[in-house]
């Protein structure tokens, strides 16, 4: 006997069994069909060649709960364990999807079913009078509490030391220490400065996270750490700390991919990973476009920068305009009064000749050079010019290219969801334009809150929790820092 | 030797040819103005070496490391923000186990190592065409024929 | 029991019960600290059939040493000690090396990269100067010392922590000893037009 997910093709067999089991309380075929195909449900059937039983679960991400919608087994086979197997499978799914509670209704008087549920840990919590119609029988409401893993995640890929704590898909703490101020005078991140800062910050940030969550070390079920991509010296501090922690707590460790973490951050906003989605991750160190069909199993890199990251381009152009680091907020400030259409700067890799090899890749080097040339020429000639216009036009060019390609991807892959992540998401113009374009194109835009978009530990913890809830083996202790870890490697061994 | 490189595809191809001459422990110093094609050349080199992860500007991070096929790493450095050769040491690069390419190498690095390949890219008059000058220093490069880069 | 960790040269760990060394391990790879640190700690605990619960303290080498590797040991030690609130002892590795020597006047040197050396001078076991960073050519100027150039390891670090504790020396300082600032020059910005 095997249990598998129900498909449209199974509908006829399901309805046959449904009617025989539930008679005048049976669902309509239309109802069953839409339940089976809904993205928020999980319907399974037990098969032995033919259908022996079926069950369905509805998952509500935001409320961290699931409901058993229905369960039915062939009359002559009831009591032979099929119902239990179906229920166990539903509970595995509920757990994996982050549910903290599972609810069901059962006829008061259906002792064998009630017995099964109780043996699985369900407890009665309520009675609904005359719930079943037309018989008028009462329903018992039963609840099962699921304990989701508490995972502590460590992030030290660049210049931010992050420690986050989650319980399943629920955010409990997100503590951060940034060395951005120390880096201002260098005009960019200096690996040695960042790494020193991480070592100083790791202990206080661990303490802050536990305090925010109101937890103690003994409450942690697993440790997650981003082991790449990023700066190796910086990564090594987080890895050292994570391994030390996992050893002393005697708990599993998960070495996870920082970029995939950015995509998974959204799970902490809505209690569920919404896939498929196109993800555009833009920061000082990364500019990547991903197609995510399944967060843990199917993430594809569609394109990335072939030279400068978008955030880096902002830093460089800010410098050209005589503005301090970091460039993003400075450009924004100066661009406020500028005309984005004043100068048409190049949009890299958008020409017909680029479509074959570079449709989803980004290049900001030419743009940065064009802006520098433009400004140098004016300054050499001692001509007056509007920094505001230059800043606004440059910013427009970056945003234009980022969003144009992101929406091309949505169209080409038939995915109508776009997720933004990374520190550049702080840019209000990017968000504003993203909203406008997505609305026009009928694309659902997802932007997690800023503290989950920049590098942070909570997203690392969340990804670790996803892996643990999915039943993945933890990582061994031999992994190291992988500064160019590919997006297809979600977890390192 | 001097080469004329007419397109950015040709610059990438030059980088790929370069891979055939290099081994772990080698140092390549790349110089040229902004937009000259240093990263493009390195991209071709990375592709031919089977480098993991995309070749991107290391300005933000100073150095990017890529595992390459057959073991070892390609380390891609942007030295512009380094004030002296000594700061290179802080990046903790395993020189013996890597092929190291340094952009914006400039002259301070020439006292730094005995053996290196130096590539200067000049964007001369036109927008696309580059004049590339390749020279080698040290016993490592004695007798090595650079003509294959043509 | 005292767990000792050191990543100043390779990656090593050692376990002491009182003054007795129970187990130790050393990985000499100068680049594999992140990969080896947990294996080292696990291995000395397993070899001695001991568990973290039996630890009362953690000693860690805090340098001076090449930074990237050094930080792995310190980070691991901090995180390991935190949940059980174990005492953490920061050992200056040149002191630990010196303790293993019998010579009257020694100059302990280790590789500081950048063509330089970390040094400290000792007379009758008492540190006279250092730790400092010097160019090798300056070694002769340092005085009448015998040069000792061996790398530190966890056994030495642990032994020193025990000796310090027996002699009322406080090792509460656990910040990494770098002896140099990052020293990256703020850059003026690149011109495009030649």
Residue A53: which residues within 8 A CB-CB, separation 6 or more?
Answer: A17, A45, A46, A71, A72, A73, A74, A77, A82, A83, A86
Q: How far apart are CA B50 and CA B46, in angstroms?
A: 6
Q: In chain A, which residue's Cα lies nearest the Cα of C68?
A: A233
Which of B33, B87, B92 is the closest to C66 by Cβ? B92
The enclosing domain of A95 has a CATH number of 3.40.630.30
Q: How far apart are CA A94 and CA C17, in angstroms?
A: 48
Which residue range forms the structural domain that includes residue A202? 150-265+454-492
Residues A324, A202 share a domain: no
Residues A98, A34 share a domain: yes
Residue A209: which residues within 8 A CB-CB, separation 6 or more?
Answer: A152, A163, A164, A165, A173, A174, A175, A457
Q: For A281-302, how does the pLDDT look when each residue is reduced to its tens digit (9 = 90+)?
A: 998 888 999 999 999 999 999 9
CA distance C167 to chain A (A): 29
Residues A413, A320 share a domain: yes
Q: What is the mean pLDDT of residues B101-116?
A: 77
Q: For A372-425, how does the pLDDT look when each residue is reduced to its tens digit (9 = 90+)?
A: 989 989 988 998 999 999 999 999 999 999 999 999 999 999 999 999 999 899
How many other β-carbons are positioned within 10 Å of the β-carbon of residue A217? 17
Q: What is the mean pLDDT of residues A103-119?
A: 95
**Residue B119 in this model has a pLDDT that exceeds 80:** yes
- pLDDT value at residue A185: 77
DSSP at C52: G
**Residue C183 in this model has a pLDDT that exceeds 90:** no
Residues A427, A314 share a domain: yes
- pLDDT value at residue B8: 86
Residue A398, CA distances (Å) to A109, A404, A424, A427, C140 in order? 65, 10, 11, 11, 59
The enclosing domain of A330 has a CATH number of 3.30.420.40
Residues A227, A187 share a domain: yes
Sign of the CA dihedral with A31 first, then A33, A37, and A41 last: positive
Minimum mean pLDDT range among A54-58, A84-88, A468-472, B128-132: B128-132
CB contact under 8 A, A236 and C72: yes
Q: What is the mean pLDDT of residues A187-199?
A: 87
Which residue range forms the structural domain that includes residue B65? 2-141
Q: Contacts of residue A190 in chain B, CB cutoff 8 Å? A: 62, 81
**B·C CB contacts under 8 A:** 46
Q: Is residue A272 part of a domain?
A: no
**Summary mean pLDDT of chain A:** 94
Q: Is residue A473 part of a domain?
A: yes
Residues A209, A93 share a domain: no
Q: In chain C, which residue's Cα lies nearest the Cα of A186?
A: C186
- pLDDT value at residue B84: 66
CB contact under 8 A, B65 and A232: yes
Q: Which of A93, A120, A145 is the last residue of a domain?
A: A145
Q: Does A311 touch chain B (CB under 8 A)?
A: yes
- pLDDT value at residue C185: 57
CA distance A284 to chain B (A): 7
Residues A244, A138 share a domain: no
Q: For C24-55, how does the pLDDT look when each residue is reduced to its tens digit (9 = 90+)?
A: 999 999 989 999 999 999 999 999 999 999 99
Q: Is residue B147 part of a domain?
A: no
Residues A297, A365 share a domain: yes
Subunit partners of chain B (3 or more CB pairs within 8 A)? A, C
Q: Does C37 touch chain A (CB under 8 A)?
A: yes
Q: Which residue has the higher pLDDT, C142 or A219?
A: A219
Q: Are A410 and A420 in contact (CB under 8 A)?
A: no
The enclosing domain of B104 has a CATH number of 3.40.50.300
Q: What is the mean pLDDT of residues B128-137?
A: 89
Q: Is residue B148 part of a domain?
A: no
Interface confidence, given as ipTM, is 0.95
Residues A99, A19 share a domain: yes
> Mutation test of the interface with chain A: which of C43, C66, C70, C72, choosing the one with the most A Cβ atoms within 10 A?
C72
If pLDDT is split at 50, 70 and 90, which confidence band does B111 have? low
Q: For A133-168, how does the pLDDT look when each residue is reduced to its tens digit (9 = 90+)?
A: 888 899 999 999 999 999 999 999 999 999 999 999
- pLDDT value at residue B107: 64
Q: Domain C2-166: what homologous superfamily?
A: ATPase, nucleotide binding domain (3.30.420.40)
What's the domain count of chain B?
A: 1
- pLDDT value at residue C194: 42
CB contact under 8 A, C67 and A319: no
- pLDDT value at residue C186: 57
Cα angle for residues A296, A297, A302 (degrees, 5° grid):
100
CB contact under 8 A, C82 and A239: no
Q: Contacts of residue C32 in chain A, CB cutoff 8 Å? A: 480
Q: Contacts of residue C31 in chain B, CB cutoff 8 Å? A: 94, 97
- pLDDT value at residue A433: 97
C122 Cα distance to chain centroid: 17
> Mutation test of the interface with chain C: which of B24, B30, B32, B34, choosing the one with the most C Cβ atoms within 10 A?
B34
Q: What is the mean pLDDT of residues B89-112?
A: 79
Helix, strand, coil share of chain C (percent; to 5): 30, 30, 40
Residues A328, A216 share a domain: no
Q: What is the mean pLDDT of residues B135-146?
A: 91
Q: Does A348 touch chain B (CB under 8 A)?
A: no
Subunit partners of chain A (3 or more CB pairs within 8 A)? B, C
- pLDDT value at residue B126: 67
Q: Contacts of residue A219 in chain C, CB cutoff 8 Å? A: none
CB contact under 8 A, B34 and A307: no
What's the domain count of chain A?
A: 3
What is the SS3 string spanning chain A?
Answer: CEEEECCHHHHHHHHHHHHHHHHHHCCCHHHHHHHHHCCCEEEEEEEECEEEEEEEEEEECCCCEEEEEEEEECHHHCCCCHHHHHHHHHHHHHHHCCCCEEEEEEECCCHHHHHHHHHCCCEEEEEEEEEECCCCEEEEEEEEECCCCEEEEEECCCCEEEEEEEECCEEEEEEEEECHHHHHHHCCCCHHHHHHHHHHHHHHHHHHHHHHHCCCHHHCCEEEEEEECCCHHHHHHHHHHHHHHHHHHCCCEEEEEHHHHHHHCCHHHHCCCCCCEEEEEECCCCEEEEEEEECCCEEEEEEEECCCCHHHHHHHHHHHCCCCCCHHHHHHHHHCCCCCCCCCCCCCCCCHHHHHHHCCCECCHHHHHHHHHHHHHHHHCCCCCCHHHHHHHHHHHHHHHHHHHHHHHHHHHCCCEEEEECHHHHCHHHHHHHHHHHHHHCCEEECCCHHHHCCCHHHHHHHHHHHHHCCCCCECCCCCCCCCCCCCCCEEC
CB contact under 8 A, A305 and B54: yes
**Residue B101 in this model has a pLDDT that exceeds 70:** yes
Share of chain A above pLDDT 70, in %: 100
């Amino acid at each position: 006997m095997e249990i598998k997910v129900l498909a449209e093709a199974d509908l006829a067999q399901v309805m046959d069994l449904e009617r025989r089991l539930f008679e005048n309380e049976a669902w309509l075929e239309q109802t069953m069909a839409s339940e089976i195909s809904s993205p928020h449900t999980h319907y399974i059937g037990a098969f032995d060649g033919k259908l022996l039983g079926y069950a369905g679960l509805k998952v509500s991400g935001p409320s961290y709960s699931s409901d058993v919608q229905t369960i039915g087994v062939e009359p002559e086979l009831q009591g032979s364990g099929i119902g239990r197997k179906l229920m166990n499978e539903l509970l595995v799914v509920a757990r994996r999807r982050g549910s903290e509670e599972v609810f069901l209704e059962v006829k008061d008087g259906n002792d064998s079913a009630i017995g099964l549920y109780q043996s699985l840990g369900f407890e009665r919590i309520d009675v609904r009078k005359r719930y079943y119609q037309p018989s008028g029988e009462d329903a018992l409401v039963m609840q099962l509490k699921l304990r989701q893993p508490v995972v502590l995640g460590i992030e030290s890929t660049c210049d931010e030391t992050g420690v986050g704590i989650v319980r399943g898909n629920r955010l409990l703490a997100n503590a951060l220490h940034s060395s951005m101020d120390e880096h201002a005078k260098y005009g960019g991140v200096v690996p040695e400065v960042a790494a020193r800062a991480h070592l100083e910050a790791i202990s206080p940030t661990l303490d802050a996270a536990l305090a925010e969550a109101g937890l103690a070390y003994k409450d942690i079920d697993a440790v997650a750490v981003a082991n790449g991509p990023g700066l190796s010296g910086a990564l090594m501090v987080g890895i050292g700390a994570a391994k030390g922690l996992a050893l002393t707590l005697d708990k599993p460790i998960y070495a996870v991919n920082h970029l995939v973490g950015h995509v998974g951050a959204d799970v902490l906003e809505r209690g569920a990973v919404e896939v498929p989605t196109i993800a555009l991750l833009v920061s000082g160190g990364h500019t990547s476009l991903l197609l995510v069909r399944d967060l843990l199993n199917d993430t594809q890199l569609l394109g990335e920068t072939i030279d400068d990251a978008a955030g880096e381009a902002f830093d460089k152009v800010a410098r050209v305009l005589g503005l301090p680091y970091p460039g993003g907020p400075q450009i924004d400030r100066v661009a406020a009064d500028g005309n984005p259409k004043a100068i048409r700067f190049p949009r890299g890799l958008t020409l017909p000749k680029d479509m074959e090899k570079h449709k989803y890749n980004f290049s900001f080097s030419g743009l940065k050079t064009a802006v520098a040339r433009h400004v140098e020429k004016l300054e050499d000639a001692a001509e007056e010019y509007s920094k505001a216009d230059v800043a606004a036009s440059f910013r427009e060019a970056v945003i234009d290219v980022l969003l144009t390609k992101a929406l091309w991807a949505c169209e080409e892959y038939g995915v109508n969801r776009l997720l933004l992540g990374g520190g550049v998401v702080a840019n209000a113009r990017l968000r504003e334009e993203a909203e406008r374009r997505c609305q026009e194109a009928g694309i659902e835009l997802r932007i997690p809150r800023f503290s989950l978009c920049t590098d942070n530990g909570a997203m690392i913890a969340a990804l670790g929790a996803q892996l643990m809830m999915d039943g993945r083996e933890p990582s061994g202790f031999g992994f190291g820092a992988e500064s160019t870890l590919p997006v297809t490697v979600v977890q390192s061994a | 030797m001097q080469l004329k490189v007419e397109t950015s595809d040709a610059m990438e191809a030059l980088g790929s040819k370069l891979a055939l001459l290099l081994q772990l422990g080698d140092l390549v110093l790349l110089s040229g103005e902004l937009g000259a094609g240093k990263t493009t050349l390195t991209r071709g080199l990375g592709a031919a070496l089977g480098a993991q992860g995309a070749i991107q500007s290391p300005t933000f991070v100073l150095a990017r490391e890529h595992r390459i096929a057959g073991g070892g790493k390609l380390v891609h450095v942007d030295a512009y923000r380094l004030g002296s050769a000594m700061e290179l040491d802080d990046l903790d690069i395993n020189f013996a186990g890597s092929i190291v390419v340094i952009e914006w190498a400039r002259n301070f690095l020439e006292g730094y190592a005995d053996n290196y390949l130096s590539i200067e890219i000049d964007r001369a008059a036109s927008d696309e065409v580059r004049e590339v000058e390749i020279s080698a220093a040290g016993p490592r490069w004695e007798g090595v024929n650079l003509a294959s880069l043509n | 029991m005292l767990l000792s960790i050191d990543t100043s040269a390779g990656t090593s760990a050692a376990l002491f019960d009182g003054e007795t060394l129970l187990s130790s391990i050393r990985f000499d790879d100068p680049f594999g600290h992140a990969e080896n640190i947990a294996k080292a700690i696990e291995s000395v605990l397993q070899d001695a059939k001991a568990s973290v619960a039996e630890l009362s303290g953690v000693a860690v080498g805090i340098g001076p040493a090449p930074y990237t590797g050094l930080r792995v040991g310190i980070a691991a030690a901090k995180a390991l000690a935190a949940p059980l609130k174990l005492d953490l002892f920061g050992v200056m590795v040149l002191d630990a090396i010196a303790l293993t020597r019998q010579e009257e006047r020694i100059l302990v040197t280790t590789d500081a990269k950048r063509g330089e050396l970390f040094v400290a001078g000792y007379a009758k076991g008492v540190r006279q100067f250092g730790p400092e960073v010097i160019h090798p050519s300056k070694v002769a100027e340092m005085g009448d010392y015998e040069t000792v150039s061996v790398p530190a390891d966890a056994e030495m670090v642990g032994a020193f922590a025990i000796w310090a504790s027996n002699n009322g020396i406080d090792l509460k300082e656990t910040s990494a000893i770098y002896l140099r600032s990052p020293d990256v020059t703020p850059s003026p910005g690149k011109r495009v037009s030649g």
